[in-house]
A = this chain, B = another copy of it.
Amino acid sequence: MSEDRRLDVLRAIVEDYVATKEPVGSRALVERHSLGVSPATIRNDMAALEEGGYIAQPHTSAGRVPTDKGYRLFVDQLSTVKPLSSPERRAIGTFLETAQDLDDVVDRAVRLIAQLTQQVAVVQYPSLRRSALRHVELVPVGSRHLLVVLITDTGRVEQRTLELGTDLDESVVARLRTRLNVSAAGRRLSELPVALGELTDGFAPTDQVLVNAVVAVVEETLAQESEERVVLAGTANLARVGSSDVRSIGPVLEALEEQVVLLRLFSEMAEDHAAVAVRIGRETQHDGLVETSFVTTGYGDEGGGSVARIGSIGPLRMDYPGTMSAVRAVARYLTRILAQ
């Protein structure tokens, strides 16, 4: 029993099952793929694959369906990259290039992936921690409130309102603004706390209150993990006919609404060495997502490290090669555009 053919059989099963959405039997397999052997032989291979846990049958006397483990093997070893057509590439490029600002770019990118993969697309906003600070603006609001605005080099803007016990002194605010920008501009946000610590020097004791408050707000903002926003698109694709079980979309929608879940997955997948990371079924470690797979890749840094992630969520029986290349292509364009 040839080991190679057994893997061919697994690949054929995955491909056929993805295409037909129905358990695939030995007869159909030899007909659709030129395997050069008889159904009976395939049945033997199937028995072995089932023994190994790569495929399973929904019930006795039904065809076979890949298991999580089967998909995993397929993704790791059996699938071949499926390049996008050049019109597709062009469309991605022009669609993203005509965007106005950061929000717009991100929004278009996520819609694009939803469109290309016909699945749910997810994008993580450029993280504050990893991007660099471009400018800090202090805006007095009334006499006792100060609006603190942080602008990063990815064009992201964060704001906080600060309530003060005493009236504002405009000149102090101006000095603080200048010094903040001198010591902060261009630095990675993760390095900032150190720079901020030395900032209080040179201010009169009475002004220290203000300075400390502002510094505290800046640090607090940076520390807030919750600011890692996630944006979705294409949730309607979950309800498309032929999607797994129509009733199973409830738990999925719930999972998607919990940003925490998605952020955890994003950050775990950032550890993967692979260019495109994949989580299949139970690998997602979340009950609502056991019948889905998640394909992500990083974007935002031409150096190779990445600022944030973007990806696509679909049924276990998704078109892995197609999804992976779509996600990757969009991420590349996105990175290029953000670099400007």
Contact = CB atoms under 8 A, between A and B. Distances in A.
Contacts of A135: 139, 141, 147
Interface residues of A, number: 33
Contacts of A101: 159-161
A137 B137 contact: yes
A205 to B, nearest CB: 29
A257 B236 contact: yes
A246 B253 CA distance: 13
Contacts of A253: 235-236, 238-239
The number of times this chain is found in the oligomer is: 2
Interface string A244-258: 001101110110110
Contacts of A251: 236
B250 A239 contact: yes
Given A239-B249, A239-B250, A239-B253, A151 B151 contact: no
A186 to B, nearest CB: 11
Nearest to A258: B236
A234 interface: yes
A74 to B, nearest CB: 29
Given A239-B247, A257-B234, A155 B151 contact: no
Interface in A16-35: none
Contacts of A151: 139, 147, 149, 159
A236 B253 CA distance: 5
A134 B157 CA distance: 16
A160 B102 CA distance: 9
A161 B155 contact: yes
A257 B254 CA distance: 17
A184 to B, nearest CB: 13
* A102, A159, A246, most chain B CB atoms within 10 A: A159
Given A236-B250, A246-B247, A257-B235, A155 B159 contact: yes
A147 to B, nearest CB: 7
Nearest to A234: B257
A264 interface: no
A238 B238 CA distance: 12
Contact of A134 (B139, B236, B250): B139
A125 B256 CA distance: 22
B240 A250 contact: yes
A219 to B, nearest CB: 14
26 contacts: A100-B160, A101-B160, A101-B161, A134-B147, A135-B141, A135-B147, A137-B149, A139-B151, A147-B155, A149-B149, A151-B159, A155-B159, A157-B159, A235-B257, A236-B251, A236-B253, A236-B254, A236-B256, A236-B257, A238-B253, A239-B249, A239-B250, A240-B250, A241-B247, A246-B246, A246-B247
